[in-house]
Chains A and B, each alone.
Chain A
């Protein structure tokens, strides 16, 4: 429809049976419009305002030209139109899409200066400044916080322009998912918030909105000639279901969002009291993790890596453990992600590298030491310096240090991580691809970085005895390593039968309980004396 005339013929809300030409399903629309405090009207297909609420009536009375205003009434084409007014600030007209076969028109005054601060320039949604004001507006009792899943990957792989385009498209879809004129703001990055008035229905309507958002955002986006898939996680908090104050509303919605992500993303989560307890536990653990190094609660264990044929040790992996005062011994997957989030990973990572290198310098036969490094450590600009300092401090040859990275580390920020690993390799340090087979696009990684070694994930190693498919995969990785000149090591070997099966298909290196559990530094020294009786410890 083009150029309709907004001839405002006021009408009172029609009652059922009294409204010629008005389909029954449109009647609730009249009620919605009447109850809104925003100037709001219903426009028919000809562009005539067939119904207006009191606020719009007042606006139409004040501004005569609005009645004769010619413009596009298709919100998908122009969500916002600025109309100049002589001697006054321009009028911003906000236009909505077709609902129930009728077009809705939003229109309100906005001074440019205020409007600028109020609006997110990229998406046209509300800004963070508007969010702060809305948070204290009693009209809205429910808050939905949203965070796009996998947005960072789009930004990293397709560039910021594509990322911006995606945000704009996502914002438009969000506008289609809401009810009435619930305000949407962009909090920054890929975070959005929706204010909602749940009314007497409790959280039901907010949950419906969240479901619809998840469905709409989950559909493929066309961005710069590419099909892009993202998802969205939603946290919901409401004054109606808890005893939250307005100040707590944001924090509770944020906790719910955190829970939505922790529970697998691409879903919504409503705030519940247990989230508060979990958050307290988490805060306590964060505080403990900050002190763990100083209190000497971190410990390194060492697990031998051997030749599968004669069990002769040819390398040692350093494994980090945290002796938690209440929870007992924790493995890195239980605290390294937290250490990354709270910025402790650098000091912990440095401690691990320095100690592992210092211990390794004492080992006989120039045995190499393998150290796991996490994404947060590698992206730190001081990573290379840390490695240099650890090697120099210990007097260890770079060739004896092996960094182990998992595919998930590579996935987090591939270009930067590859750049850093290349720098590390230039020092003489070798790099191993750990847990090979558990992530995806492994072959791509192999093509993009000269790994010294591939570690086959324990799940394949365990499966290969009974499962012909797992066995084929292990064979395939071995052949791949051989043809690329990369050595392969099977992790998690527990039985001699597993070891024999691996030997039979040409796997020469292994690691696991069969050859030795993770040992303390002292036990490792004894193990090495027993394993390598011909050589003396070079202390």
Chain B
């Protein structure tokens, strides 16, 4: 990779409508497309989401991460993006995953649910590194 390695962590509000099944189908669709794109762009990362929030880590070259971010930013399935972290990193935290998914019934999801259910949650006050650690810990445990 010609450019430096960057890590992006963002959270956003989910606006996916519908019942559990259509919700899962849409998440699967997001994962399918992002895994294809990420493989092409040598991006690795992880996605964590519940019915109200998305949290995602993307790592790779600055340009490709930026492009991926722009694609995501324009996706109508979420809104109110808050960038928690965007900076060069010495190595990948999710090197083995084109897009690890901590979704249905995982421990990470339960932690995330607790985090996001706190009343008056302010997305911008979440710590990007906390989310990275949370995801990493659960992926290693899995």
Decide: B74 and A216 in contact? CB cutoff 8 A: yes
Task: Select which of B6, B67, B80 is within 8 A of A225 by beta carbon.
Answer: B6
Decide: A216 and B73 in contact? CB cutoff 8 A: yes
Size class of the contact patch on chain A: 10 to 19
Task: Select which of A1, A77, A219, A226 is within 8 A of B73 by beta carbon.
Answer: A219
For the complex, count residues of B whose C-beta is within 8 A of A.
21
A123 CA / B40 CA spacing, docked (Å) = 25
- CB nearest to A176 among chain B residues: B74
- CB nearest to B72 among chain A residues: A219
Within 8 A of B (CB), among A73-91: 76-77
Query: Which of B71, B74, B87 gathers the greatest number of chain A CB atoms within 10 Å?
Result: B74
* A222 on the B face (CB < 8 A): yes
* B79 on the A face (CB < 8 A): yes
* B17 on the A face (CB < 8 A): no
Decide: A222 and B74 in contact? CB cutoff 8 A: no
Task: Select which of A2, A77, A173, A220 is within 8 A of B81 by beta carbon.
Answer: A220
Q: How far is the CB of A173 from chain B (nearest CB, A)?
A: 6
Q: How far is the CB of A475 from chain B (nearest CB, A)?
A: 28
Q: How far is the CB of B14 from chain A (nearest CB, A)?
A: 15
Q: In the complex, which residues of chain B have a beta carbon less than 8 angstroms from the beta carbon of A169?
A: 70
Task: Select which of B79, B82, B83, B88 is within 8 A of A222 by beta carbon.
Answer: B83
Task: Select which of A77, A219, A225 is within 8 A of B87 by beta carbon.
Answer: A225
Known A-B contacts A222-B8, A225-B6, A227-B86; the reply to A215 vs B79 at CB < 8 A is: yes
Decide: A225 and B88 in contact? CB cutoff 8 A: yes
Q: In the complex, which residues of chain B have a beta carbon less than 8 angstroms from the beta carbon of A225?
A: 6, 62, 86-88
Known A-B contacts A76-B67, A225-B88; the reply to A220 vs B82 at CB < 8 A is: yes
A216 CA / B62 CA spacing, docked (Å) = 21
Query: Which of A173, A219, A220, A225 gathers the greatest number of chain B CB atoms within 10 Å?
Result: A219
Interface residues of A (CB under 8 A from B): 1-2, 76-77, 169, 172-173, 176, 215-216, 219-220, 222, 225-227
* 12 residue pairs from A and B, CB less than 8 Å apart: A76-B67, A77-B67, A173-B70, A173-B73, A216-B73, A219-B73, A220-B81, A222-B8, A222-B86, A225-B86, A225-B87, A227-B86
Interface residues of B (CB under 8 A from A): 6, 8, 36, 40, 62, 65-67, 69-71, 73-74, 79-83, 86-88
